[in-house]
Amino acid sequence: MPGLTAPSDYAEEPPRHPALRINSKEPFNAEPHRSALVTSYITPVDFFYKRNHGPIPKVEDLSRYSVYISGLVNKPIQLSMADIWALPKYNVTATLQCAGNRRTAMSKVRKVRGVGWDISALGNATWGGAKLSDVLELVGIPKLSSVTSLGGKHVEFVSVDKCKEEKGGPYTASIPLKQATDPDADVLLAYEMNGEVLNRDHGYPLRVVVPGVIGARSVKWLDSINIIEEECQGFFTQKDYKMFPPTVDWDNINWSTRRPQMDFPVQSAICTLEDVDVIKEGKVVAVVLREWIYLLMGVKPGLRLADIRKTTCHMYLMDLRVISGLGFSSRLH
């Protein structure tokens, strides 16, 4: 793409914070120490996990960068950054998590493939940008549409990067059109993160942010948007990020039997202790529950979360109620 290019090697990678735990150097995949996740409600950009599938794209000339929207639409359009900036700007606080988060823990039970993430491949940020529902109106798709007049039912996002899984092709992902055109779904074409311009690791100059689903659908370094009839047919939609029962392994897997993963199961983790910490019998340990929790699904104030925790001596019941929040990153009472 003119203005934004994907290098073929790792010679010009951006700088990263030295405290990150590096799980893969090329491509660069890293996460913060688990304690960094509970130091503040908003995850600092430097400590937001880095998930990449190839060399980091570079902007050569921002004035020449544009996003092409086409497919099953009546009015294909080419949008520059100036066009995106001219649309109403929204700030959405949302949590993103890699679908492979906690893979090292999974491997202790049964060996799995993929990047060996601990528990910190997630982060909570305030994203700034244009709502995708506003952008799609520019190509003639009304808000709250589930199908276009030409039969489009899904929105495919295409990156400019080069992925080994795609044999050097770009990363792609898709979401249903009804989600993309719903203003309350808060899907963004984001150009800011925590009040600053996106950095290269996180998608500069423009990325998709899809709150409430796995991070794999929030495509970085956006090249184009296609309105299509079926789900994206790319590797990361059809042959990765799917949930299978324990009876399935790499010898008998049939990818077509499962839909692409979107939602996360409910999960929790203690970030103030390490896996190797040993608590002596009889010792009292206080684990502080913060006033906030990362929510990876859309919720509304009033939702109650009950959690029973059993130790060798006691059983505790915590009854938590969501009292505020934007739906994708909420506070507890």
What is the number of other CB atoms lying within 10 angstroms of the CB of residue 167? Answer: 8
Q: List pLDDT tens digits, range 151-161.
A: 999 999 999 99
The domain that contains 112 carries what CATH number? 3.90.420.10
Residue 84 lies in domain: 4-257
pLDDT of residue 267: 78
3-class DSSP assignment, residue 258: coil
Residue 273: inside a domain: no
Residue 286: inside a domain: no
pLDDT of residue 321: 44
Mean pLDDT of all residues in the chain? 87
pTM: 0.88
> Tokens 């007049």 map to which residue?
149
- The CA–CA distances, whole Å, from 146 to 75, 103, 131, 185, 237 equal 17, 35, 17, 13, 20
Q: What is the C-alpha separation between 159 and 161, in angstroms, rounded?
A: 6
Residue 311: inside a domain: no
pLDDT of residue 270: 80
Residue 308: inside a domain: no
Q: State the total domains in the chain.
A: 1
Q: List pLDDT tens digits, range 53-65.
A: 999 999 999 999 9
pLDDT at 122 exceeding the cut of 90: yes
Q: List pLDDT tens digits, range 264-308.
A: 877 778 887 777 666 666 665 555 555 455 655 444 444 444 443
Confidence of residue 99 (pLDDT cuts 50, 70, 90): very high
